[in-house]
Amino acid sequence: MGICDDRVVIVTGAGRGLGRAYALELAAQGAAVVVNDLGVSNHGEDTGESPADAVVAEITAAGGRAIANHADVADWDATGTMVAQAIETFGGLHAVVNNAGFVRDRMFVSATPDEWDAIMHVHLRGHFCTSRHAVDYWRGQAKAGKPVDGRIVNTTSGAGLHGSMGQTAYSTAKGGIATMTLVQAAELARYGITANALTPNARTRMTEGAFGEAMSKKDGDFDTFAPENTAPLVAWLCSAASSEVTGQVFELIGGKLTLCLGWSDGPSEDAGRMWQAEEVGGAVDRLMADRPKAKPVWGTS
């Protein structure tokens, strides 16, 4: 028996790295899994590979249930077909794990519009399309008087929460995903749908270039940055047990699970009237002195 018995879950970008670890854990916990992966490189180029099929083979060889899907997560029609495939094959849908993405690292002064658009397309539109079709299905079930216990699990990043040098587009997209999660949670609760986000810290194709040595496996030590470390959290968020948790962002580093607090009101000073321009600087200095220290942008000291 697993915590996801009889659940049906779509995992995007599930052919490698974190997505693969999620798919394998979900299947081990009893879920039927739609393993989605377009098979592109770390920068989004076609490789001609089909890693989704390899993951499905692993799952079925272990006695689990899974099917492969090769849709582009930013393709509206293709993601609609993917959701329909899950429902037709396994009889329903309970969770969507939005994991697919790639990077185009570039300092802001060197970034191009095409690179910017590519990152927004795969991360923001990619998170939107699959979830939107899933929500249509769950909303229809709710309107028909059927019980709904839906889950959206999004992927943000520390880059999205406090920025990362050389990753303006990626940081912006991931920050948008964190905010989208808050809105989804607020709007969709009435239908029986929760929305949460992860900021995983793992050794993947997307991190090995920037953090390769820091995230490498050390002989004899607990493998802090193994993708498998995040998988149990994903399985729990997709399960019925997480029904009371929504609108949250979780960070996991090795065995350390952190609940991110996000933006909140800081120090304030009320003049009781319109501020004079020459007064503003002093007020800002006092507010900055009173505020808690912010986490630094990645890549700065």
Q: Which of 157, 164, 171, 239 is catalytic?
A: 157
Buried b / exposed e over 225-238, threshold 16 CB at 10 Å, is bebebbbbbbbbbb
Q: What is d(CA 145, CA 191) in angstroms, rounded to the nearest whole number? A: 10
**Residue 55: closest CA among 11, 16, 83:** 16
Whether residue 157 lies in the annotated active site: yes
Q: What is d(CA 79, CA 74) in angstroms, rounded to the nearest whole number? A: 8
Q: Which of 131, 137, 164, 170 is catalytic?
A: 170
Q: What is d(CA 195, CA 189) in angstroms, rounded to the nearest whole number? A: 9
Whether residue 301 lies in the annotated active site: no
Whether residue 110 lies in the annotated active site: no
> CA geometry: angle at 174 spanning 36 and 185, to 5°?
80
> CA geometry: angle at 194 spanning 189 and 195, to 5°?
120
Query: Which residues does 267 contact at the CB level (< 8 Å), separation at least 6?
Result: 286, 287, 290, 291
Residues noted as catalytic: 157, 170, 174
